Structure 1
Amino acid sequence: MSADHFVVFDLEATPDPECPADPPKNPDQDRVPAPPHHRVVSCGIIVFAWTKDEQDNFLTVAKCRLLGDAVGTETSILQDFGSIMKHRPHLASWNGRGFDLPVIMARSFRCGIPTPWFWDRDYMDRFRGHRHIDLQDHTTNYGASRASRMAAFAKLAGWPGKLGVCGADVPQLWEEGDEGRAKVRRYNLEDVGCQSAILLRVLLMKGEISRTAYQKSAESLLSTFDRDQRFAELSAAIDRDRFLMHDKGPQQQPVPAESGAAA
């Protein structure tokens, strides 16, 4: 891995029984606990490498995997992430600056794993950092407009967003044992795929890749998920014409002129 690689990442976490959060004052309040109260159970990544042909520089998928050892212990996940960060890659996330990276730092604090990159301005400075694309920031003008869920922008790009599992389901699924945990890990990688689709569209919108480079990058992402049977449902739900920009966009039916109206 080199500093030119893009690493799209996403965490899944459950409440830490050793450090429980205070219950919300309003039981109906949908409040995410502060970073120390989470326990990392899964972290999926997609690594993009730059590729050059006669026409374009575009991105191809170099890796799509879960971090950590075969069991997926929290310590092994955090150590694996730290090993990646030694190469200073470009990161891409959805609200990673607000949730994923602070949770990684807090849990690394718990496990005694150094995270010098966390204080690197290129990663953590919201406005002047150059090595972390927080896609939520990029799609809300850094909070100037109301934040949307990641699934909404994934759908705009032709990906399905959520497929029956959402983040709120993770703690219960995790407690169900091997089958539930397999669902969590698959859901984790599906989210990373959706975030990767958003990243490619954002890079196109910013003028950092051309239309043809975008389409080549998108084909690489599609082929990664198409050849893995775990993602058959996801692959079948992708609107490929929209994602590859072969469609003509939303079509409006012409409104007939009122009878007797001037042309």
Structure 2
Amino acid sequence: MLNLPVLVFDIETIPDVRSGSRLYGLDLPDDDTVLAMNNIRRQESNSDFPRLPLHEIVCISGIWVEEGQIRLFSFCQESMSEQEIIKRFLSVFDKHFPTLVSWNGSAFDLPVLILRAMHYGLSAQGLLDQGDFNQARRYDNYQNRYQHRHTDLMDCLALFNARNFQRLDELALFLGFPGKQGHSGYHVHDYVKNQDWKVLCQYCESDVINTWLIYLRWQLLRGHLSLDEHQHWIKFTHDYIAEQLPGQHEFLSSWQHNAKLTPFNPRC
């Protein structure tokens, strides 16, 4: 059985132009600042992927799952500031103690969330409590690698060996799921610049749904779900998308098509 409630999440980011300008002493238009930050970063690491503190969060999407209920949500800068997005997301952990599921969340999503929360002077007590406020969290918390309160699927499936890391999109397709819908994460900056908030949210949400489906397969592999229980959650997810998420019908069609091409094809 699943340890409910489950919260599967993903963040999307763009370079933090203001902080980058201050850190690197730049006085340029925003687009030129991004190019300069990319060039500086490539000199440091052979990659233009910004340092973790210099990721501005523009969207957080998640799936909240409990018995008899599944809900997909997104907080984005269309209607909220970055500070409000982070504060609202962190407030979940002050009220609830969900099983947290991510893809590369240990190395990216959670550290970025924590650093950006510090940037705004926010509290993440519920997320970071290791028994200081609630003794039950001493050995059951989101920082302890040797339990599954936070399951970083990329880490788990690689057996915590970086040489075995897989890309979410490729593994999702391998397992018969839709994979990413739309462009890669490199286009997030364009989505924000062009105010394509609907496209941005759907992109982030598709990553979350793929992660949730991989998590179900992982729990089946571990013996935490029987085949019947796995089938129940697959059908429950499929029906929710079909009935409640008209913006994800392309995702649903891709799922139905890809599932037929794999040896394990649960009824969806």
TM range (shorter): 0.7 to 0.9
User: 1:10·1:93 contact (CA, 8 Å) conserved in 2?
Assistant: yes
Give 5+ residue unaligned stretches, structure 1: 51-59, 248-263
Q: What do residues 8-66 of structure 1 show as CA deviations (whole Å, max 9, x unaligned)?
A: 0000011111111752244993342222101111001101114xxxxxxxxx5421111
Find the partner of 1:80 among 88, 107, 117.
88
- In structure 2, the residue corresponding to 1:41 is in which secondary structure? strand
Larger Rg: 1
What TM-score, normalized by structure 2, do the two folds share?
0.79
- In structure 1, the residue corresponding to 2:142 is in which secondary structure? helix
Find the partner of 1:193 among 195, 203, 209.
209
Q: Alpha-carbon deviation of 1:145?
A: 4.0
Which one-letter code corresponds to 1:125 in the other structure?
A: N
Change over 3 Å in CA distance of 1:4–1:163 after alignment to 2: closer
Matched, 1:125 2:125: no
| Number of the residue aligned with 2:75 | 67
Matched, 1:164 2:174: no
| Number of the residue aligned with 1:258 | none
| Number of the residue aligned with 1:54 | none
Change over 3 Å in CA distance of 1:42–1:68 after alignment to 2: closer
| Number of the residue aligned with 1:5 | 5
| Number of the residue aligned with 1:102 | 111
Matches within 5 A, 1:234-253: 234-238=251-255, 239-241=258-260, 245-246=264-265
Residue identity over aligned pairs, in percent, reads 25
| Number of the residue aligned with 1:216 | 232
The CA RMSD measured in Å over matched residues stands at: 2.4
Change over 3 Å in CA distance of 1:118–1:244 after alignment to 2: farther
For 1:102 and 1:164, how far apart are their aligned partners in 2? Answer: 26
Give 5+ residue unaligned stretches, structure 2: 24-36, 131-138
For 1:29 and 1:4, how far apart are their aligned partners in 2? Answer: 41
Q: Alpha-carbon deviation of 1:70?
A: 6.7
What TM-score, normalized by structure 1, do the two folds share?
0.81
Which one-letter code corresponds to 1:155 in the other structure?
A: L
- In structure 1, the residue corresponding to 2:241 is in which secondary structure? helix
Change over 3 Å in CA distance of 1:27–1:181 after alignment to 2: farther
Deviates more, 1:218-227 or 1:112-121: 112-121
For 2:263 and 2:128, how far apart are their aligned partners in 1? Answer: 35
